[in-house]
Amino acid sequence: TGPVGTVSITDTSSGGVLIAHDIDVDLALNPSTLFRTGAAGSLFPGNVDSSAPDVSAHGFFRSAGVSHYDGTLVIGGNSFSIDVLFVADTDNNRVLIFEDKPTGSNADATAVLGQPDLYSNLPNQSDETDPAPAGDTLWGPQDVHFSAASNQLFVSDTLNNRVLVYSDVFDGTTGMYNL
């Protein structure tokens, strides 16, 4: 037994992301006890009241997918210690990026994909009825996946019927976030 890492799961009904830190092998083998009520180390970063009208840097409104990477990233012979969380914030038409694993509720995102800033949420950044997609817009993203092997982020942009692939997510010289 002993810690095996961190597990991140989206809770689509509340709009939050549940993160369990330092999961024990025994718990990981028995999912029914992994996220029991009151489990130590679990939290909902960015969980907001769904009736709140404002979009914020830390509020999710029906998050659908999450991708967490905590480890060593090797790019062109350089090694970097990376801890990043990507959250598909479906109803806000964006992907929130946390460069450090959130350690409490209402942690602010470092960056956003699909919107011009952390406080906008229009589909394809337009208030038109059927807005046309562009390379920097999203409409209802459902899932995200970061591949450390290829240094790419895959975003399922559901209502635009496409998968976006962001390459060179981290800079190969500095290891800094690069999108």
**How far is the C-alpha of 178 from the C-alpha of 36, rounded, in Å?**
37
| pLDDT for the residue numbered 39 | 47
pLDDT digits (tens, 9 = 90+) for 3-35: 455 555 555 555 555 555 555 555 555 555 544
3-state secondary structure of 34: helix
Which tens digits make up the pLDDT trace of 106-144? 678 888 999 999 889 999 999 988 899 999 999 999 889
- Hey, is 90 helix, strand or coil? helix
Structure tokens of 108? 């602010």
Sign for the CA dihedral angle at 26, 31, 33, 37 comes to: positive
How far is the C-alpha of 99 from the C-alpha of 69, rounded, in Å? 10
Instruction: Please give the pLDDT value at position 110.
Output: 86
